[in-house]
Each structure stands twice: as structure tokens, then as C-alpha cells.
Amino acid sequence: MNRRHFITAAVALAALPHAAFAAEFVTYSPGVIEKALGEGKTVFVDYSASWCGTCKRQGRVINALRTSNPNYDAAMVFVKVDWDDFGKHSVTKSRNIPRRSTLLVLRGDKELGRIVAGTGESEIKALMDTGL
């Protein structure tokens, strides 16, 4: 094994434990939420923008909670809706989403809970718990 391959493999192996716990979101595209709901899944939807400070704080809390409790990922599909791309789209309008930094939990044809611009760990955890 040459040195370059050895270093690349060592770096990849060192990153594996972190990658195993990295919380991933499905990037929204039309039909993604409806498909998951149609399959009987619970969907956590994060309406966010890359430039939004509140959204970033929410993301850090969500990722920390998902990392500490794998039951969230087992119970829900996490979907991120980019506000800049879909803020005026039917995925936003049909659910009366007032602004970016809105979080929803959906199951079937029901909304189980919603947070608008909240960043507190306890309130985000309570919302995520509705999906368990």
C-alpha cells in the first residue's frame, strides 16, 4: 500500500464514528413528503434558509437530539425544505408556513405539532417526541 492510500484510508476510518452519528436530512423535492406520508411514515419538516441564524441554531439542536437518541431517526423521515427555493411553493402555502425557521411533524393527514422560530432544546425535543 502506498503512503497516499494509507493516509486516505486512515482519515476515512477516523471519520467513520462521526459519520455514523451524522444526522442527515432528505433534501426536499416535490412529492418527497407526500410519498413518505403515503408509506405510513412520520415526517419531520424543517423549513430553513442557509443564511438564517435561527435556522442554524435549530439545526444544531435537532442534530444534537438525533445524535443522542437514535429512536428519532428510526421513527421519522427528516426533510429540509429550502426557503429560498420553496418559500412561495405549494409545499409552503398549503401548510400555512409563515416563515423560514418553521418546524413541523406530520403523520398521515395530520400535523402533530409545529414550532415557528423557536430554538429552545426543550421545545424542539417536545416536538420531536410527538413523532415517536
Q: What is the pLDDT, as a whole number, of residue 5?
A: 46
Q: What is the pLDDT, as a whole number, of residue 23?
A: 63
Q: How far apart are CA 48 and CA 117, in angstroms?
A: 10
Q: What is the pLDDT, as a whole number, of residue 2?
A: 54
Domain boundaries, the chain: 23-130
CATH class for domain 23-130? alpha beta
pTM: 0.82
Q: How far apart are CA 16 and CA 114, in angstroms?
A: 33
**Beta strand pairing status for 102-107 and 42-48?**
antiparallel
C-alpha distance from residue 103 to each of 2, 18, 19, 67, 96 (Å): 48, 25, 24, 18, 12
Residues 6+ apart with CB under 8 A from 21: 67
Q: Extract the C-alpha cell encoding 62.
A: 435537532
- Please give the full DSSP string across 48-67, using - where no structure is assigned: E-TT-HHHHHHHHHHHHHHH
Q: What is the pLDDT, as a whole number, of residue 129?
A: 98
Work out the burial of residue 105: count CB atoms within 10 Å of its CB; fewer than 13 is exposed, 13-18 middle, 19 or more buried: buried
List pLDDT tens digits, range 34-76: 999 999 999 999 999 999 999 999 999 999 999 999 999 999 9
Is residue 55 a contact partner of residue 48, using CB atoms and an 8 Å limit? yes
Band of residue 1 on the pLDDT scale cut at 50, 70, 90: low
**What mean pLDDT comes out for the span 101-110?**
97
pLDDT > 70 fraction of the chain, expressed in percent and rounded = 83
Look at residue 11 and tell me whether its pLDDT is greater than 60. Answer: no
